[in-house]
Amino acid sequence: MRALCWYGINDVRVETVPDPEIINPRDAIVKITSTAICGSDLHLYDGYIPTMEPGDILGHEFMGEVVEVGKGVQNLKKGDRVVVPFPISCGHCYFCEQGQWSLCDNSNPDAWLAEGMYGYSAAGLYGYSHIYGGYAGGQAQYARVPFADVGPIKVPDSLTDDQVLFLSDIFPTGYQAADNCNIKPGDTVAVWGCGPVGQFAIKSAYLLGAERVIAMDEVPERLRMAHEQAGAEVFKYEGLDVVEMLKQMTGGRGPDACIDAVGLESHGTSFMAFNDMVKQRMRLSTDRPHVLRQAIQACRKGGTVSLAGVYGGFLDKIPFGAAFAKGLTFKMGQTHVQRYLAPLLERIERGEIDPSYIITHHMSLEEAPHGYDIFKHKEDDCIKVVLKP
């Protein structure tokens, strides 16, 4: 089959590789009909995530048709149309049973690697380096789906691929970020980043009852989309004192919750941000916390800082004194997608939201390297690329 393989910084290639096969009884094989490039894939493309091996297949946002099931899978059969959640979860450990699917104890075959770095290993993910299990990803024609009896969700034929594909990752991710803000009536939520996850965080904040959502980015197309499609109040943060701006927009109180939908590659124009970038390029530090610093400073006293954006390593110079003095709550982590699949599918079916609006580019799997390029450089007004294998 054809698959998108990683070979180094800015080097991804579509190659012919063996078809995936059933290895364990609870596996299924899915023929992929649509697959997307995620913002977090860019961290792999840019070389910031360690333990990648040349030849690894990328991709963790995919859906398609079941073509084969292992003998341990009773609830799916050949021909079922499913969306596959990006965390791989066994369904029976303490964490899965608590609904904390992205913390599964049993789905990382290289648990010792993650334990060395993080103390404990969380769930394996598709196509996201060996510290997360080294599983072959879904930017391909077929994928092996472990624990297929608890992961994938069947979707009705009345909804198109474009409408349901983002249940695999970014819609639940934005939703969880907003859910973690514990939104109360009258609340104002500030969102850093109007990329796909930010867009869904904005929409989700409104769905969960926020009075106002204020969103920031530097890219005009993304700000326009956030305002026109998601209904946020927007401003461009370049060169602006964001903390003061948010304070003034909220009558001097600060936003009740701050969502970081940017993660470890945040840009900034201050000296500190430049310092961060240099350190990261020189590999002296791994993550850039420019947005996180702003979120901590801007958040109202007693508020919540909710991190959707991926962080991988270590952060420098975080204003923790400010966080402590203001009594902030921090919520973060990989998305517990399985928890949100059914409720969010229902919202789509009811017409409350049509996630397909964020797609700006469709292309074939063969053009994926071009897709990565324009997505990374935000060229051609690119916001989200969906690939057809």
Partner 1 sequence: MAVPQTTAERGIQDTYNLQQEELKGGYINVGEIERVLSVLGGGVLTLSGLQRFSLKGIALAILGGGLVYRGVTGHSNLYQKLEIMTSEKTPTISKLPGNQGIKIQRSMTINRAPEALYNFWHDVEKAPLYMKHIASVKTTGNNRSHWVAKLPMDTIVEWDSEMTQDEPNTLIAWQTIGKSPIASAGSVRFESAPTGRGTVVTLELEYYQQLGGELGVAVGRLFGRFPEHEALENLHHFKALMEAGEVSTIEGQTSGRSKK
CA 193 to chain centre: 12
| Separation in Å, CA 139 to CA 28, 155, 276 | 17, 20, 31
Q: If DSSP codes are grouped into helix, strand and coil, which group holds residue 335?
A: coil
Decide if residue 26 touches partner 1 (CB under 8 A): yes
276 with 285: CB under 8 angstroms? yes
Least separation in angstroms between CB 59 and partner 1: 13
Scan for tokens 């949100």, then name that residue: 340
Print the binding letters for residues 133-172 with partner 1: x by CB under 8 A, - otherwise: xxxx-------x-xx-------------------------
Written as six digits, the tokens of 94 are 């303490």
Beta pairing, strands 304-307 & 257-260? parallel
Please select the residue that binds partner 1; options are 17, 277, 359, 363, rule is CB under 8 A.
Answer: 17
Tell whether residue 61 is a contact of partner 1 (CB under 8 A): no
The backbone torsions φ and ψ at residue 366, rounded to the nearest 5 degrees and listed phi first, read -60, -25
Nearer to partner 1, 111 or 249 (CB): 111
| CB of residue 48 to partner 1, shortest distance in Å | 20
Q: Select 106 or 294, whichever has its Cβ closest to partner 1.
A: 106
Q: Give the integer Cα–Cα distance in Å for 59 and 95.
A: 24
Q: Is 154 helix (H, G, I), strand (E, B) or coil?
A: strand
Stretch that binds partner 1, among 59-67, 104-112, 218-226, 373-381 (CB under 8 A): 104-112
Are 340 and 347 a contacting pair, CB within 8 Å? no
Q: What is the largest CA-CA distance in the chain?
A: 61
Minimum Å gap between C-beta 27 and partner 1 is 9
Exactly one of 38, 45, 56, 139 binds partner 1 (CB under 8 A); that residue is 56
- Which C-beta is closer to partner 1: that of 90 or that of 155? 90
Of 322, 303, 333, the closest CA to residue 210 belongs to 303
For partner 1, the closer of residues 64 and 124 by Cβ is 124
Binding footprint of partner 1, residue count (CB under 8 A) = 45
92 binds partner 1 (CB under 8 A): yes
Applying CB under 8 A, the span of 54-62, 315-323, 349-357, 361-369 interacting with partner 1 comes to 54-62
DSSP string, 260-287: E-S-TB----SHHHHHHHHHHHTTSSS-
Q: 53 vs 244, which CB is nearer to partner 1?
A: 53
Q: Which of residues 67, 111, 219, 332 is near partner 1 by CB under 8 A?
A: 111
Please give the C-alpha separations between residue 241 and each of 74, 224, 325, in angstroms, as whole numbers: 56, 21, 21
67 touches partner 1 (CB under 8 A): no
Distance CA 27, CA 23 (A): 7
Instruction: List interacting residues with partner 1 (CB under 8 A).
Output: 1, 3, 5-7, 13, 15-21, 23-26, 53-57, 72, 88, 90-94, 97, 105-109, 111-112, 124, 133-136, 144, 146-147
